[in-house]
Amino acid sequence: MKYSIAALITLAASPALAASKNPFSADFWSLSNTDMIVLIAFIIFVGVLIKFKVPGMLTGMLDSRATGIKSDLDEAKALREEAQTLLASYERKQREVQEQADRIVENAKEEANRAAAQAKEDIAASVTRRLAAAEDQIESAKSSAIRDVRNQAVSVAVAAAQDVIAKQTTATDANKLIDDAIAEVGSKLH
């Protein structure tokens, strides 16, 4: 039934019907009429197409092509979803890596601040120690200088006293001083 409808539609659209000659006249049906030859060739061509099931093959090819396109679309959709999943995964990993990098930078800043504070404390302690050491050296030098000045003053005083005593003392005074010193030592020892 489906082939007969296709044949009727084909005949209705045939070039013979579009010709200027009336298809119901006797001249139309002669073999010398080119329109009649074209109509017969067209009908035979359509018959051969139907005999070899060309319309079925065409619809089968179109159906298989549609199935292939549908499977390609499904595959593309699946690939798109997979790509979106991968993109979301990479974006999540990127955020995690960025957060980790931010934490590392923050920890490094805190560590640098702690190290700077510790260095300031160490420098302050070092300066305090050095100041104390310098003050101790100054005090020691001062004490040494005072001792040296006193020793020098004593030496000068002894030398001056020795000169004065040597000039003012006579031999009898010197003997008397020696006897007094011996007596004093003897009394202190006993």
pLDDT in tens, 121-147: 999 999 999 999 989 999 998 888 888
- pLDDT per position as a tens digit, 36-83: 889 899 999 999 988 888 888 889 999 999 999 999 999 999 999 999
Output the pLDDT for position 11.
Answer: 54
User: Cα–Cα distance between 61 and 147 in angstroms, integer?
Assistant: 124
Q: What is the mean pLDDT of residues 113-125?
A: 93
> What is residue 13's predicted lDDT score, i.e. its pLDDT?
52
- Other Cβ atoms closer than 10 A to 16: 19
Residue ranges of the domains in the chain? Answer: 2-88
- Given this model, what pLDDT does residue 92 score? 96
Mean of the per-residue pLDDT values of the chain: 84
Helix (H, G, I), strand (E, B) or coil at 77: helix
| Sequence-ordered alpha helix ranges (H) in the chain | 2-12, 34-51, 54-168, 171-189
The answer to whether 36 and 28 have CB atoms below 8 angstroms apart is: yes
- Quick check: 16 pLDDT over 50? no
* Amino acid making up residue 22: N
